[in-house]
Structure 1
Amino acid sequence: MHHGTAGDPPVDAGRWIDRGDTVIYDSEWVRLVTTDVELPDGTRIDHHVVRLPRPAAGTIMVHDRSVLLLWRHRFVTDTWGWELPAGAVDDGESPLEAARREAVEESGWAPRTLEQICSFHPANGMLDQTFQIFVSHDAEHVGDPTDTNEAARVEWLPIDEVRRRFLDGDITDGLSFGGLGYAFAAGIL
């Protein structure tokens, strides 16, 4: 994570100040608010913000130069694409535990060891959720996926094919795009 270098402006230069939220909608899944924000020049604005109560965790499982991916339909965008197994961190659960649980539920593969490789905000101009990405090189097949609604297919794709599909636009969801992009850039894949 970039924390600044000697040539960067002071941390507080340009800071937007949160002066409080007004709730528009609230449920256990999502809270929509307008936030009273003071801009660096002193101007005040109402900014719409989506607050999600839980981070999401996903796993890049690697085996024999292949990556396990799910072929999924997303009704919100009415699109199909390849995705990493991932989901929300439940109350009382660590992101690592959530990554392991989601992998088993969605793919039927259980990562034995997990290493966190990155954490990022997918849309930090209006969304406060954090995505945490883990990698595993020792997943074992433990059975069929327990959540059969998550994916139409579960497949191990060769890393070169994953890279091609990434570049061709077949991997578009934020968590998978950010996690795989980081893994490619860092030389993990």
Structure 2
Amino acid sequence: MTEEQENPWHILSQRSVYDNPWIGVTEYNVINPSGGKGIYGKVHFKNIAIGVLVIDAEQHTYLIGQYRFVIDAYSWEIPEGGCPAGSDPLESAKRELLEEAGLEASQWRELLRMHLSNSVSDELAIVYLAADLVQKTPQPEDTEQLAIKRLPLQEAFAMVENGGITDAISVAAFQKAALMLERGLPLFFPNGKNQ
């Protein structure tokens, strides 16, 4: 580990200030990298965020629309959900795809991992690509009022570019897929080497 990679923060004390089944908030008394005393708040997520970028045989994708309480706005997103601690992220992705879009996929590939807001949160997201689809019946949770939109993949890329999609997981997933396609890289491995 190089000197710049070593942790320059020193924790003097910490206390839990909020906790529920999904998140916990901890306040730390710290000595910051410049040597001054201060506080730092951390939001700990108890689930891994899961996203599924779906691509069907006609190069269409699926978006889920829902009103998001925290931002007080409607949002179009790839199918998303949570993976409880100790659970298999891929199995959680399969569950979320069926619940939200009513789809089952036989091809899966991990597309990316990302930290969503690493200045205040430790939330990790894992995004998968899914293909070879079978349509089933969506099974949304009681708290979800969802709309499903099937559209060409290129239209979803355009929605990211023009601000029609602002969800961070969805933006990153579509940008990564667009970059791979632009570079001529396969979204899925041949010969069954996918997950």
Give the structure-1-normalised TM-score.
Answer: 0.85
Q: In the alignment, what sits opposite 1:182?
A: 176
Pair 1:48-2:41 in alignment: yes
Distance in 2, Cα, partners of 1:181 & 1:40: 34
Q: In the alignment, what sits opposite 1:99?
A: 93
Q: Which has the higher strand share?
A: 2
Q: In the alignment, what sits opposite 1:61?
A: 54
- 1:85-136 deviations in Å (ceiling 9; x for gaps): 1111024421111111001011100122211111001100001110000001
In structure 2, what residue type is equivalent to 1:130? Answer: L
In structure 2, what residue type is equivalent to 1:131? Answer: A
Q: In the alignment, what sits opposite 1:122?
A: 116
Aligned length, in residue pairs: 182
Q: In percent, how many aligned pairs have the same letter? A: 24
Tell me by how many angstroms 1:20 deviates.
Answer: 4.8
In structure 2, what residue type is equivalent to 1:24? Answer: V
Asked if 1 retains the 8 angstrom alpha-carbon contact of 2:140 and 2:146, the reply is: no
Asked if 1 retains the 8 angstrom alpha-carbon contact of 2:48 and 2:82, the reply is: yes
Distance in 2, Cα, partners of 1:91 & 1:11: 27
Q: In the alignment, what sits opposite 1:162?
A: 156
Unpaired segments of 5 or more residues in structure 2? 182-186, 189-195
Distance in 2, Cα, partners of 1:186 & 1:53: 31
Give the structure-2-normalised TM-score.
Answer: 0.83
Unpaired segments of 5 or more residues in structure 1? none
Tell me by how many angstroms 1:46 deviates.
Answer: 0.8
Q: 1:182 to 1:146 in 2, by over 3 A?
A: same
Q: CA RMSD in A?
A: 2.3
Pair 1:108-2:102 in alignment: yes
Q: In the alignment, what sits opposite 1:15?
A: 8
In structure 1, what residue type is equivalent to 2:111? Answer: I
Asked if 2 retains the 8 angstrom alpha-carbon contact of 1:106 and 1:148, the reply is: no
Asked if 2 retains the 8 angstrom alpha-carbon contact of 1:57 and 1:133, the reply is: yes
In structure 1, what residue type is equivalent to 2:16? Answer: V
